[in-house]
Structure 1
Amino acid sequence: MRASIVCGLFATALMVGCGAPVEQDEEPQLATQESPIPDCSGLHDATNYYSDAAHTNLIGIRGCYCGSWSTWGKTSIYAEQNLDC
């Protein structure tokens, strides 16, 4: 009987835990962070994004486009390297 009481108290102590509740860190405010734009002068490493597998409708570009950083539109699974420069 005494052993079951001790085990019950021990199990309750494990469920309750010790000390104050742990505070969670706030999520970082990524919208307010500033990062330098990469220098890509002299480079050309852009990707075109299309809305379909036939690559008929360009919906966005990401990367170094003709020596300057370019990012517009949307991305998709239909992509190809942009070699126009």
Structure 2
Amino acid sequence: MIRRALAAAAVAATALVALPTAPAQAQPCAIDYHCITTYYSDAAHTTVIGVREEACDGTLYVWGGRSAYVDLYRSPC
């Protein structure tokens, strides 16, 4: 009985480690800031695959996809 419980716990722990993770989320843009988040296909930042721009007037412009490889630009309005 104890062996089965230990085996089940080991399988559950392994399953949790093997779960895929979601791409990193960009940090929210602060009030009174103009923010541009650029998403890249790889860690070398060679190919842009998407952009999210939040303007000072609240306009939101988004195109392309997201990934874990981001570059964030923030500027006060």
Structure-2-length-normalised TM-score: 0.45
More strand by share: 2
Structure scoring higher RCO (CA < 8 A, sep ≥ 6) equals: 2
Structure-1-length-normalised TM-score: 0.41
Higher alpha-carbon Rg: 1
